[in-house]
């Protein structure tokens, strides 16, 4: 007779197995019990579930880090694009501003050139007036020769007329200096304030140097030789105490 019994696919848990025997006469033995426990497979153990929890948690964390980093990268890219756009916009603004400043400077330079031309014209007009002194000398010499007694009234009238014209020279210089100060932002006024010991001729020389006139042009304006202009310029440097190595024009230009 078969004395074994097989039970398969039992779910995990605690079991009690009861059994009794019966003989051929029909007599039964007392019931015998046997307790046993069916363990779950390894993949259903608590350690397996802990492992699953860790793996799922790690996956969630990795996904979070992935999407967070992707978001940060996109944000950084957007910010970089914004910085680039702002930089390009600033470059355009700076370029436009520089062009505007260049146009303004060109306009101011042109206006200054026109006014300097007007000043030069006025200065040359003063040169013509300075010839009056030479005419007086010539007429006086003629009187000494032709009328030693100074009784020739016709020649005297000429001299008086010439002297009257000479009186206007200083007035014209005043007008010139006022016009010059308007063009060059009160240069002569500032010069007199900083260097009050300058003579009128030295002030004129400063004005002509400020206009960047040549030595020959200055010589004509001041009715002296080019060599005289060089000497006057040298004396002016010492009087103004211009630093060694600094151009006199740059020193005057810094005044105003």
Q: What is the DSSP letter of 22?
A: B
Confidence check: pLDDT of 165 > 60: no
**pLDDT by residue (tens digit) across 44-103?**
889 999 999 999 999 999 999 999 999 999 999 999 999 999 999 999 999 999 999 989
CA distances from 96 to 91, 101, 103, 104, 109 (A): 8, 9, 10, 12, 19
| pLDDT on residue 122 | 65
- Please give the share of the chain, as a percent, with pLDDT higher than 90: 35
* Residue pair 207/177 in contact by the 8 Å Cβ criterion: yes
Higher pLDDT, 90 or 168: 90
Question: Within 10 Å of residue 142's Cβ, how many Cβ atoms?
Answer: 14
Task: Output the six-digit token pair for 134.
Answer: 């030479």
Question: How many Å apart are CA 217 and CA 124, to the nearest integer?
Answer: 9
pLDDT on residue 233:
92
pLDDT per position as a tens digit, 217-253: 888 878 789 999 999 999 999 999 999 889 998 999 8
pLDDT of residue 6: 83
Q: What torsion do the CA atoms of 99, 103, 109, 111 make, to the nearest 10 degrees?
A: -170
DSSP state of 197: T
Mean pLDDT, the chain, rounded, equals 82
More confidently predicted of 10 and 162: 10
pLDDT, tens digit, for every residue of 113-130? 777 767 666 665 665 565
Tell me, what's the pLDDT at 48?
93
Give the pLDDT score at 150.
52
- What pLDDT score does 159 carry? 64
What is the per-residue pLDDT for 66?
Answer: 95
Distances in whole angstroms, Cα of residue 86 to Cα of each of 72, 101, 178: 21, 22, 49
Report in angstroms the alpha-carbon separations of 171 from 126, 132, 134, 145, 207. 10, 15, 19, 33, 17
Of 252, 117, 128, 232, give the one whose Cα is nearest residue 179. Answer: 117
Q: What angle do CA 46, 50, 53 make, to 5 degrees?
A: 135
Q: How much is the pLDDT for 164?
A: 57
The string over 106-121, giving b where at least 16 C-beta atoms fall within 10 Å of a residue's C-beta and e elsewhere, is eeeeeeeeebbeebee
- Distance from chain centroid for Cα 227: 44
| Total number of residues shown for the chain | 256
């Amino acid at each position: 007779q078969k004395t074994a019994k097989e039970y398969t696919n039992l779910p995990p848990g605690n079991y009690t197995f009861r059994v009794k025997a019966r003989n051929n006469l029909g007599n039964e033995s007392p019931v015998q019990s046997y307790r046993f426990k069916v363990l779950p497979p390894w993949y259903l153990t608590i350690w397996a579930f802990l492992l699953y929890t860790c793996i799922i948690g790690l996956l969630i964390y990795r996904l979070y880090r992935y999407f967070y980093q992707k978001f940060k990268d996109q944000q950084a890219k957007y910010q970089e694009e914004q910085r680039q756009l702002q930089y390009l916009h600033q470059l355009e603004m700076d370029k436009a501003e520089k062009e505007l400043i260049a146009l303004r400077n060109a306009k101011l330079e042109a206006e200054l050139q026109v006014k300097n031309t007007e000043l030069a014209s006025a200065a040359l007009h003063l040169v013509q007036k300075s010839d009056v002194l030479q005419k007086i000398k010539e007429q006086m010499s003629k009187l000494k020769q032709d009328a030693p007694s100074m009784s020739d009234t016709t020649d005297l009238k000429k001299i008086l007329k010439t002297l009257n014209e000479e009186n206007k020279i200083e007035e014209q210089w005043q007008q010139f200096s006022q016009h010059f100060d308007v063009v060059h932002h009160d240069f002569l006024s500032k010069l007199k304030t900083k260097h009050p010991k300058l003579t009128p001729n030295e002030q004129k020389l400063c004005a002509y140097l400020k206009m960047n006139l040549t030595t020959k042009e200055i010589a004509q304006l001041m009715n002296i030789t080019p060599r005289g202009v060089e000497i006057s310029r040298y004396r002016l440097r010492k009087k103004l105490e211009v630093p060694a190595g600094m151009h006199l024009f740059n020193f005057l230009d810094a005044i105003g």
